[in-house]
């Protein structure tokens, strides 16, 4: 068994409206040193074996939208 951690983010070319909204809110709270804030998703699961290709397939088919999102996988036993 292995733990798969998947970090999903919008592609750099896609505007992140949620990230912009949160960044503006932080500025309004006085945190003016924050810029280029982007929001993503984090998925953690236990998988049989250490099959990176299978986790990538799950990401392409369901967990991430490959048209607008990128993903990064970390596997740990």
**19 CB contacts (<8 Å, ≥6 apart)?**
10, 37, 38, 39
Neighbours of 14 (CB within 10 A): 14
Instruction: Pick 2-76's CATH classification: 3.40.50.700, 3.30.1280.10, 3.40.190.10, 3.30.43.10.
Output: 3.30.1280.10
Residues 5 and 58 sit within 8 Å (Cβ to Cβ) = no
Q: Which residue has the tokens 């505007």?
A: 15
pTM: 0.86
pLDDT in tens, 41-63: 999 999 998 889 999 999 999 99
pLDDT at res. 50: 85
pLDDT in tens, 6-54: 999 999 999 999 999 999 999 999 999 999 999 999 999 999 988 899 9
Q: Please give the structure tokens belonging to residue 33.
A: 């040193």
Q: How far apart are CA 75 and CA 77, in angstroms?
A: 7
């Amino acid at each position: 068994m292995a733990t798969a951690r998947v970090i999903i983010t919008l592609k750099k070319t896609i505007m992140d409206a949620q990230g912009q909204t949160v960044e503006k809110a932080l500025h309004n709270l006085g945190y003016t040193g924050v810029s280029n804030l982007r929001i993503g998703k984090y998925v953690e699961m236990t998988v049989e074996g250490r099959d990176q290709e299978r986790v990538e397939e799950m990401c392409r088919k369901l967990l991430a939208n490959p048209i607008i999102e990128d993903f990064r996988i970390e596997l740990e036993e």
